[in-house]
Amino acid sequence: MADSAGTVSDQTPLREPPGWVHSPLGRALVPLRRWWVDSVVEGVDHTAVIAKVASESRTSPRYIFMTMMSAGIAILGMLLSSPAVVIGAMLLSPLMSPILGAGFALATGKVKWLQISIRALAIGTIAGIAFTALIVLVSPLKTVTPEIAARTQPNLFDLLVALFSSLAGSYAMIRGREGTIVGVAIATALMPPLAAVGYGLATLNWTVFGGALALYVTNFLTIALTATVMARLYGFRTDLSTRQGWFQNVGIFLVFIALAIPLGFSLRQIAFEANSQRVVQEAIAESFPENARVSDVAIDWDSEPASVSATVFTPQFNSNANTEIVRRLTRRFDTPVAVALDQFRVGADPGAAEEAQLAKARAEQQEAASEAQIDAMIDRLALIAGKDRAAVTVDRDNRRASVEAAALPGLTLAGWRLLERRIAESTPEWSVELRPPLLALPPITVTEGETDSEARQAVLWAVQRLSLPVTIAGGGEAGESLVAALRTRGANVTQAEEGSADQIDVRWQALPQ
C-alpha cells in the first residue's frame, strides 16, 4: 500500500500466496487467511511496533546495570533455595528486548538491526555471568542447591516454557499490551539458567556450567525464533524475497527439530527415572503388609549391577524380602539388580509406620541442620584463621575442631581469645580451639593484690593453646597464684625472682628477649 510520497508503508498487506492456494486445502484456508489479514493484521500498527522493539534492542548503561542486578538477585535466590527471590530477579530482567529484537529483525530481514540485537544480548549475557560468578566467589555458600540443579538438565518441557513465554511476549508486544508481566514471562526461561552458568564458572563445576549454558542457549534461540514466526504471521513487511523467506522458514523448522530431539530424549530419561521410582516402590511394598511404609528409595542405574536401597517401616520383618524384590525387579527391568533394605520394626497400629517415618524424617532434618551448622563453624574458623577449610582439624567423634591461625597485624591475644569464644558460642556442643600466632604475652597489672582479669585470662588461654614453656616474674602473691593456675593446666612454668610487685611479666621462653 503506497502513501502520498510513493513509499511503501509497514502496513502493506501480506502478498498473495503461491500456487498452493489452488489446492483443495488451500481453497479451504482462503477465507481464514482473508479474515486474518483483514481483521487481525490490518489492526496492528506495524510502524509503531517496529519502532518500539528497535529502540529497546540496543545496549545501554541501564540495560547492562539492570541485567547485572537481575542476575545477582537470581543467584542469591538460588543459593538460598528461595523461589520468591528468584521471581524477584525476573521482575528486573531486561533480556526480553534484545531477544525479541533479534526475532523481529530476522522476520523483517534487517541485518543491521539483527547485529545490534545480538550484540546487546551478548553484552548482557557476559555481564550477567561475570557478576553472578563474582557473587559466588565471595559467597560462603557454594553448595549446589535444588534451584541450581534444576537448571542443569534441560528437557523438552523447558523448551515449551520458552516457547509459550515467547508467544505471550511477542503477542503482547505486537498488540501493544507489553508490560512487566511479559518481561517476567520471558525472564522465567532466561535469568535462572544464566545465573546458574555464572555459578558453574565460579565453582569450576563444568557439569552445572554446561547444563545451564545449554538451557540458556536453547531458551533464547526458542524465544527469538518464535518471535520471528509471530512477526511473520502478523504481516510485518520483510526485505526478504519469497525464496529467502521459504529458506528462513525451513531453517527455523530445522532448528526447532534440532533442539527438540535431544531435549525429548532428556525428558524421556527423566520420565523413565520417575516411573522406575514408582515401580521399585511398588515392588518393595509387595513384600510387606499393607500398613508398612517404604521411604528413602534410591536407585543407581550406573552401578553394575544396578543398585536399589530403601527403608521400610513394617510391623513384621521379612527375611526373604531382598530375594523377592530382586526377582521382581530383574524380571521387570530385564537387568540384574542388587537390593539393600533397612527394615525397622514398628507397632501393628495403622498409624505406627507413619509415625516412625515422620520421626526418621525429623531426625534426618535435624542431622542435616547440624551438618550445616558444623560447615558454618568450619567456614568461620578458616576465615578467621586466614586458612583454607582443609587446615581446620575436625574430630566428629569427640566433637572437637581446631585450627592454627596466621598472623593478623593489630590483633592481640585477647582479641584472638574473643574470636574463639564467639565461634564456640554458635556451636555450644562442640569444643573449639583457635591456636593464635606466637605473640608476646601481655603484662598483667596488679592493683591492691587484684590482677587485670582480661590480661590474666588472655595469658592463661594463650599458654594453654600453644603449650609452650613460659617464665613469670613479679606480682608477689598474685604472680604465685598465676604460676599455680598455669601448672594446674599442665603448663611448663619457670618463676623468676626479680620483678615488680605491681606487675606480672610473662614471656615465652622460646622468644628472644
Residue 270's pLDDT is what? 66
8-state DSSP, 389: G
Higher pLDDT, 304 or 471: 471
Report the distance separating Cα 506 and Cα 472, nearest Å.
Answer: 5
Give percent of the chain above pLDDT 90.
6
Higher pLDDT, 122 or 150: 122
Report the distance separating Cα 21 and Cα 2, nearest Å.
Answer: 26
Give percent of the chain above pLDDT 70.
78
HSE-up of 176 (CA within 13 Å, CB side)? 8
pLDDT at 239 over 70: no
What CATH number does the domain located at 361-435 have?
Answer: 3.30.70
Q: For the ranges 150-159, 294-303, 356-365, which has the lowest average pLDDT?
A: 356-365
> In sequence order, which ranges of 386-441 are alpha helices (DSSP H)?
413-426
pLDDT at 4 over 90: no
Contacts (Cβ under 8 Å, ≥6 apart) of 37: 13, 14, 235
| pLDDT tens-digit map of 303-318 | 778 888 888 777 777 7
Written as nine digits, the cell of 256 is: 526447532
Nearest CA-CA partner of 482 in 511, 462, 512 = 462
pLDDT at 265 over 60: yes
Domain definitions of the chain by residue range: 31-239, 289-358, 361-435, 444-508
Higher pLDDT, 352 or 388: 388
Q: For the ranges 94-108, 240-254, 263-277, which has the lowest average pLDDT?
A: 240-254
Can the peptide bond before residue 98 be classed as cis, meaning omega within 30 degrees of 0? no
For domain 31-239, give its CATH number from 1.10.3470, 1.20.1080, 1.10.10, 2.30.30. 1.20.1080
| pLDDT tens-digit map of 127-177 | 999 999 999 998 887 778 888 887 887 777 777 888 888 788 778 777 766
Residue 357's pLDDT is what? 52
pTM here is 0.53
pLDDT at 352 over 70: no
CB 371, CB 394: distance < 8 Å = no
8-state DSSP, 2: B
